[in-house]
Chains A and B, each alone.
Chain A
Amino acid sequence: MKKLIEDALREINEDLESKELENITDETPIFEILDSMAILDLILELESRLQKKYGKYIQIADETIMDSKKTPFKTFKALQQFLEGKLDG
């Protein structure tokens, strides 16, 4: 899962060219770095990669995604845990 997220972030960073996304750690504050368009972009990228890997559509977006307090995109680690939970669910 870690590599899948890293690859998705690298893909969207080709257009963004954010220096903060060049060295990703567990604490990388994704929601802080990305604007709302890039968040949507990342969701589409992740959903498409998850579908390719697991053979089913997994919806990532819900009403917490754009909520700065509740978003699962706060840090890289939080996103990884959120997606692992989605797969288990």
Chain B
Amino acid sequence: MAKIHFKDIKISAIATTTGDKKVTIEEEADNFGYDEKMVKRLKKRMGFNSRYIVSDKICTSDLSIQSTEVIFEKFDKDDVEALIFVTQTPDYKAPSTAIIMADRLGLGTDIVAYDINLGCSGFINGLLNAYSLLNSGLKKVLLCVGDVASNFAYYKDKNLTPLMGDAGSAILIEKKEGFNADFVLHSDGGGYKHLMISDGGCRNPFSKESLKEKEFEDGIRRGVDMYMNGGEIFNFTIKVVPKMFDELFKYAKVSKEDIDYFVLHQANKYILQNIAKKLEIGEDKLPMNTMTIYGNQNSASIPGTINGFLYDKFRDRKKVLFAGFGIGLSWGACIVDFEDVYLPKSQTYKAKDEK
């Protein structure tokens, strides 16, 4: 386990932009071969309802740039010295999208910019990178996270696609005395096959075969699409997340009573309910509705939950626990001091000519 403590670093703003199209489970039922009974069951039992996805050709960078522009209406962009972009859906295979985004945002050339390829644990790992750069002497770092999951979740894959939403968040982080953070992080490549896109890299280069539909028991997909072994991912999550909480409480020398809000990656209602029950806390302290309304927003699901449901909760000093877990396999959590953070409500993407 990697454990890291930081001091005098503050999250100053978080903004999230979701995809521009809202689709409901009823509208997509035919794609997944769901009958009326199944739709009713999914809504009642699993909380499936709607998700926000993008129209064609809109990239994660477009969503994150809109989020950043909202932040820059309140904060000076001149001191931003780094842009980190955490995504599995970059604009191009090369170069790093972060470099292009820095240019689009007018951040000049005196800036370090790079991408990190991570999904559900991406917000925690991105924060860790941002805090590390600030700890090394930079003044202000812009972290952008998110995915256009509709790019890799095949429309016929009933196992994965109904869960996924598109979103891009921006987080402004800067040096500020009196704000502490503690992180714990883990990775286990032994489980990489349980959640992956197999084709398109050097190991399995893209070919005609990559676009051929294949039918499996749990859905129809292609080599270029994300595959998820739901059972294995569930087993992994139930095994590591509660343990990680204990590690973090111990490392940060806090108890669950010291935490005002628990904001977790929003992938599985059972896991969230399970953790809430174990910690003996209610939904007011551990929000769990993001997937029902927006879909699983991958690395943007933690900031997306804040902008979606907790945007009016952080005027006074609070201690907040964030936790992300998933593809890699990779999992991490942190406890941060939160106060006077600029948190606009989540917005949907608007093309420049619509604004």
Binding site for B on A (CB under 8 A): 12, 15-17, 36-37, 40-41, 43-44, 47, 51, 57, 59, 61-67
Q: For the complex, give the distance between the alpha carbons of A63 and B41 in Å.
A: 25
Question: Which chain A residues lie closer than 8 Å to B270 at the CB level?
Answer: 40, 43-44, 61
The answer to the question of B278 belonging to the interface, with a C-beta cut-off of 8 Å to chain A, is yes
Question: Which chain B residues lie closer than 8 Å to A36 at the CB level?
Answer: 230-231, 234
Q: Are A61 and B278 in contact (CB under 8 A)?
A: no
Question: Which chain A residues lie closer than 8 Å to B238 at the CB level?
Answer: 61-63, 65
Q: Are B235 and A65 in contact (CB under 8 A)?
A: yes
Give which listed residue, B41, B231, B234, B277, contacts A15 with CB less than 8 A.
B41
Q: Which residue of chain B has the shortest Cβ distance to A47 in the bound complex?
A: B277
Q: Which residue of chain A has the shortest Cβ distance to B234 in the bound complex?
A: A66
**Cβ distance B36 to chain A, nearest Cβ, rounded Å:** 12
A-B contacts, 28 of them at CB < 8 A, read: A12-B45, A15-B41, A15-B44, A36-B230, A36-B231, A36-B234, A37-B42, A40-B46, A40-B234, A40-B270, A44-B270, A51-B277, A57-B277, A57-B278, A59-B278, A61-B234, A61-B270, A62-B239, A63-B239, A64-B235, A65-B234, A65-B238, A66-B230, A66-B231, A66-B232, A66-B234, A66-B235, A67-B231
The answer to the question of B114 belonging to the interface, with a C-beta cut-off of 8 Å to chain A, is no
**Cβ distance A60 to chain B, nearest Cβ, rounded Å:** 9
**Cβ distance B316 to chain A, nearest Cβ, rounded Å:** 30
**Cβ distance B275 to chain A, nearest Cβ, rounded Å:** 10
Binding site for A on B (CB under 8 A): 37, 40-42, 44-46, 230-232, 234-236, 238-239, 270, 273-274, 277-278, 280
Give which listed residue, A37, A47, A64, A67, contacts B45 with CB less than 8 A.
A37
Q: Are A41 and B45 in contact (CB under 8 A)?
A: yes
Question: Which chain B residues lie closer than 8 Å to A47 at the CB level?
Answer: 277
Question: Which chain B residues lie closer than 8 Å to A41 at the CB level?
Answer: 45
Q: For the complex, give the distance between the alpha carbons of A40 and B268 in Å.
A: 10
Q: For the complex, give the distance between the alpha carbons of A51 and B273 in Å.
A: 14
Question: Which chain B residues lie closer than 8 Å to A17 at the CB level?
Answer: 37
Q: Are A15 and B40 in contact (CB under 8 A)?
A: yes
Q: For the complex, give the distance between the alpha carbons of A41 and B274 in Å.
A: 12
Question: Which chain A residues lie closer than 8 Å to B274 at the CB level?
Answer: 59, 61
**Cβ distance B341 to chain A, nearest Cβ, rounded Å:** 32
Question: Which chain A residues lie closer than 8 Å to B280 at the CB level?
Answer: 57
Given known contacts A36-B234, A64-B235, what 16 new A-B pairs fall within 8 Å (CB)? Answer: A15-B41, A15-B44, A36-B230, A36-B231, A37-B42, A40-B46, A40-B270, A41-B45, A51-B277, A61-B234, A61-B270, A65-B234, A66-B230, A66-B231, A66-B235, A67-B235
Q: For the complex, give the distance between the alpha carbons of A46 and B37 in Å.
A: 23
**Cβ distance A1 to chain B, nearest Cβ, rounded Å:** 20
6 smallest beta-carbon distances between A and B, as pairs: A66-B231, A63-B239, A63-B235, A15-B41, A57-B277, A40-B270
**Cβ distance B163 to chain A, nearest Cβ, rounded Å:** 11
Q: For the complex, give the distance between the alpha carbons of A40 and B274 in Å.
A: 11
Q: For the complex, give the distance between the alpha carbons of A17 and B37 in Å.
A: 10
